[in-house]
Amino acid sequence: LPSHLREFVLSGEPLAAGASLPRIEDPQFDFAIGRTARTVRRTWFDTFDWRLFRAGLTLELVAERGGGEFVLTGRDGDTVAVQPAGGQGATRIKFPCAVDALPIGQLREHLAPVTGVRALLPIVKATSTLREHRALNADEKTVAVVTVERMTVTQPRHGDTAARLTIRPLRGYDAQAAKLADSLSGAPGVEPAATSTFESALKAVGRKPGDYTGKIDVRLTAGMPAALAVAAILDALFDTVEVNLPGTIRDVDTEFLHDLRVAVRRTRSVLKLAGSVLPESVVCRYAPEFKWLGDLTTPTRDGDVYLLAYPAMAAHLVAATPDELAPFHDYLARRRAGAHGQLARGLSGKRFADLARNWRLELDVISAAPRPRPRAGAFAARRITTTHQKVLRRGAAIGPDAPPEALHDLRKRCKELRYLLEVFASLHDPSQQWHAIREMKALQDCLGEYQDAQVQHAELREFAARMMDERRAPAATLLAMGEIAAKLAERANVARREFAGRFAEFSSPRGQARIAALTKAGT
Amino acid sequence: MRVIATYNIKGGVGKTATAVNIAYLAARDGFRVLLWDLDPQSAATFLFRVRPKVKGGGKALVAGKRPVDDAVKATDFPNLDLLPADFTYRNLDLHLDNERKPATRLRALLAPLRREYDLVVLDCPPSISLLSENVLHAADLLLVPLIPTTLSVRTLDQLTEFIAGFDGKRPRILAFFSMVDRRKRLHREIAEELRASRDDVATTAIPSLSAIERMSVGRQPVAALAPRSQAARYYRELWLEARERAKLSVRPAPPGQTGSAPH
């Protein structure tokens, strides 16, 4: 049965006093009215960035007296996996948690590739009262179960939803159930449900699925004052910082900090490259504050990068065994835990609170009376062109013997260009923007791989020295780390060799034309 | 997946009542059950209020032109599905004979259902035919209702002998006395004698009870219609014996389902 015939919303109060179901004028069907109601507690889960929703999946914990189960459904509402939860003998799962905390089974197998490093969070909770009625044909045979559900959202805050009516055909009775659905849809106050139960629950608390994305979502126009555009961008970036703050402090998963850091870096780049349209005092005051914020996050993120890459590093050991490398993991984990403690204290402290409060006030002042000139379109085009030219010049100067620092510097300039393209994206043609970003990304990936491998190689030596000082480094562990160092050096060499080709592609007339097209369209 | 068939060459001995109640009780215990009503008289189908109609008829099913699971209908009871009877089943022998391995065709048709069901119950028409031979080859356990008469006992001997001649897989037999009138001395004597001489006769006997006859009025298994009746209790005991003989392991009922309430 297609979903539009399966679920209905009872708008207003279509049930007559004392009636259990809307009145339908169809002599083919009769109903056996369910006398008892069930109470069900429903919790929906997703990652913070809606990875399940974007993959067309819905994860729900349905609990009632005597136990419950996790139900994973696909886009068409079909069940993908079911896993008992609660009840006797079942492991209690404490959310938020990584997908690894779920018991081994089909559910985890389906979820793991989708959630990746992100934790599963309870997004919304509700309590439903369900009353099931049976639709009977002329032989008094049940052809479908009609459920009327009244749901109240309980978390993150209280909210009411319209009653829903669901038709579940019995196997082999799809055609009769479809006729029943037709009759029901003609009844007064009965509308086909436009959204899922999950979406209705979200709507009741003012949310919608997919309402967070790490991308910048600011609507700019070419004719608006550049100062207003830049203030709007900075405001949106700080939204990202703040929305990721609790997850970073509670250390829910590594991506909260990642997204927070990216927003801080973007803010710093915007201040640097587009700050000329803002009052100079603002830039002078806040550029160092955001540098402080960025620096505060660096040690934890470095730890995350190592720990995230650790399983692959251990798996690729040839001479050494993963067990021999384990003390290195313990060392990294300890370091990272210490760094996170400092980060959490910093983000919960006065300096950050002052920054947050004053920064918003400052942006409000700028937005209230922006300088009328320059206009956003022309300004963005100029900034992108200048930064693009800088990337081209610096890249062209990098020969086979250039020092690593030259490539590191180019990487920074590329990031700046990328951020400019992204923050002014709403001024550009989406398809041209996509092509330009794709080309940039290929060059950036190469530069990133080179620098990461190089920096990690150097750091690994430092870690080994410190571990020896702290007497935490058995000889076997140091040998295993040596193997990893060799792999990192090899990765850096490969990336270095690939650089010339990638840059040639980026700086080719075609590559240059892609960026030029953006700047033209933006004005 | 296990296959239990109710079989007897004679009609009116309680095959359908047994098949329907055993299937219902197994489903209530949490097993995923399919009941296939192979009898063109369609009594089991009638009891579950399903129309006795299979698209393409028996021919399409036997020839594999229509997958068996396509014709399945849910009953009003959780975990219990029905493959309805169809009047064309009266020609099943002819259709089976057109197949490459006519005696084991039914077994082949059931094979794809292995993932979906724990138990298939076959309700067979009274006959000795190619269809019944198919049933004997497909079943893991034959539930053989016997009226306590000397002639019925002879039938059981013949059946045992016939199965002994099978190559490879042979079904186990669980005979039980059906429609027993406990007031009749002959019934009591025959039952006691047979139980003493054979180990494939169930301890449970199903008496002739009006509650069982009322199934056709209420159109439900007696175990659902009158769960506390004597009849329901006897079928429950028979089911437990059959379950043990068929080596069906205990399966917990899925959460949220009591098993006894209709869908």
- The reported pLDDT for the residue numbered B64 is 84
The two tokens of residue A75 are 């886009």
DSSP B230: H
Q: Please give the span between the terminal C-alpha atoms of chain A, in angstroms, as a whole number.
A: 51
Let me know if A435 is exposed, middle or buried by CB neighbors in 10 A (0-12, 13-18, 19+): middle
For residue A523, is pLDDT > 70?
Answer: no
Closest CA to B61 of B31, B36, B24, B30: B36
Q: Which residue has the higher pLDDT, A470 or B28?
A: B28
The two tokens of residue A398 are 């990098």
Contact check, Cβ <8 Å, A134/B51: no
**Mean pLDDT, residues A5-22 taken together:** 69
Write out the E strands in A65-120.
67-73, 79-85
Q: Which residue has the higher pLDDT, A521 or A363?
A: A363
Contact check, Cβ <8 Å, B51/A139: yes
Cβ–Cβ < 8 Å for B145, B206: yes
The two tokens of residue B234 are 């006897």
How high is the ipTM of this complex?
Answer: 0.85
- The reported pLDDT for the residue numbered A154 is 96
- The reported pLDDT for the residue numbered A88 is 57
Any chain A CB within 8 A of the CB of B256?
A: yes
- The reported pLDDT for the residue numbered A16 is 57
Q: pTM (2 decimals)?
A: 0.78
Tell me chain A's radius of gyration from C-alpha atoms. 29
Label residue A477 by pLDDT band (50, 70, 90): very high
Cβ–Cβ < 8 Å for B179, B209: no
For residue A200, is pLDDT > 60?
Answer: yes
CB proximity under 8 Å: B 112-131 to A = none
For residue A3, is pLDDT > 70?
Answer: no
- The reported pLDDT for the residue numbered A11 is 74
Any chain B CB within 8 A of the CB of A170?
A: yes
- The reported pLDDT for the residue numbered A66 is 76
The rounded percent of chain A whose pLDDT value lies above 70 is 96
The rounded percent of chain B whose pLDDT value lies above 90 is 44
Any chain B CB within 8 A of the CB of A66?
A: yes
- The reported pLDDT for the residue numbered B258 is 35
- DSSP for A458-519 reads HHHHHHHHHHHHTT---HHHHHHHHHHHHHHHHHHHHHHHHHHHHHHHHHSHHHHHHHHHHH
- The reported pLDDT for the residue numbered B256 is 41
Strand B141-146 with B172-180, pairing: parallel
**Mean pLDDT, residues A353-365 taken together:** 96
> Distance between CA atoms of A296 and A421, rounded to whole angstroms?
26
Any chain A CB within 8 A of the CB of B51?
A: yes
Q: SS in 3 state form for B240-258?
A: HHHHHHCCCCCCCCCCCCC
Helix (H, G, I), strand (E, B) or coil at A134: strand
> Distance between CA atoms of B166 and B161, rounded to whole angstroms?
9
Cβ–Cβ < 8 Å for B18, B151: no
Looking at the partner chain, which of B48, B49, B263 has a beta carbon nearest the beta carbon of A145?
B263
Closest CA to A196 of A111, A47, A73: A73
Closest CA to A365 of A273, A473, A257, A286: A286
Any chain B CB within 8 A of the CB of A393?
A: no
- Identify from A38, A41, A65, A139 which residue to disrupt to test chain B contact, counting B C-beta atoms within 10 A and taking the largest count: A139
Strand A79-85 with A121-136, pairing: unpaired
Any chain B CB within 8 A of the CB of A87?
A: yes
**Mean pLDDT, residues A312-337 taken together:** 91
Looking at the partner chain, which of A38, A69, A141 has a beta carbon nearest the beta carbon of B76?
A141
For residue A496, is pLDDT > 60?
Answer: yes
A431-472 pLDDT tens trace: 888 888 888 999 999 999 999 999 889 889 999 999 999 887
> Distance between CA atoms of B134 and B145, rounded to whole angstroms?
19
> Distance between CA atoms of A278 and A272, rounded to whole angstroms?
11
Cβ–Cβ < 8 Å for A16, A23: yes
A388-418 pLDDT tens trace: 999 999 999 999 999 999 999 999 999 999 9
Label residue B255 by pLDDT band (50, 70, 90): very low
- The reported pLDDT for the residue numbered A279 is 93
Task: Give the residues across from A159 on adjacent strands.
Answer: A153
B136-193 pLDDT tens trace: 888 999 999 998 888 888 888 888 988 888 887 889 999 999 988 877 888 888 888 8
Looking at the partner chain, which of B51, B71, B263 has a beta carbon nearest the beta carbon of A170?
B263
**Mean pLDDT, residues B87-99 taken together:** 85
The residues, any chain, with a CB within 8 Å of residue A338's CB and separated by 6 or more, are none
Any chain A CB within 8 A of the CB of B219?
A: yes
Strand B33-37 with A163-169, pairing: unpaired
A119-171 pLDDT tens trace: 999 999 999 999 999 999 999 999 999 998 999 999 999 998 888 999 999 99
- The reported pLDDT for the residue numbered A18 is 57
φ/ψ (deg, to 5) at B165: -80, -5
Contact check, Cβ <8 Å, A173/B73: yes
**Mean pLDDT, residues A483-492 taken together:** 93
Using left for φ > 0, alpha for ψ between -120 and 50, and beta otherwise, residue A2 falls in: beta
Name chain A contacts of B73, Cβ cutoff 8 Å. Answer: 170-173
Highest mean pLDDT among A287-291, B149-153, B221-225: A287-291
DSSP A207: -
Task: Give the residues across from A30 on adjacent strands.
Answer: A136
Cβ–Cβ < 8 Å for A11, A187: no
Around A26, how many Cα atoms within 13 Å sit in the side-chain half-sphere?
23
- The reported pLDDT for the residue numbered A259 is 97
Label residue A12 by pLDDT band (50, 70, 90): low
Helices (H), A397-474: 404-423, 430-469
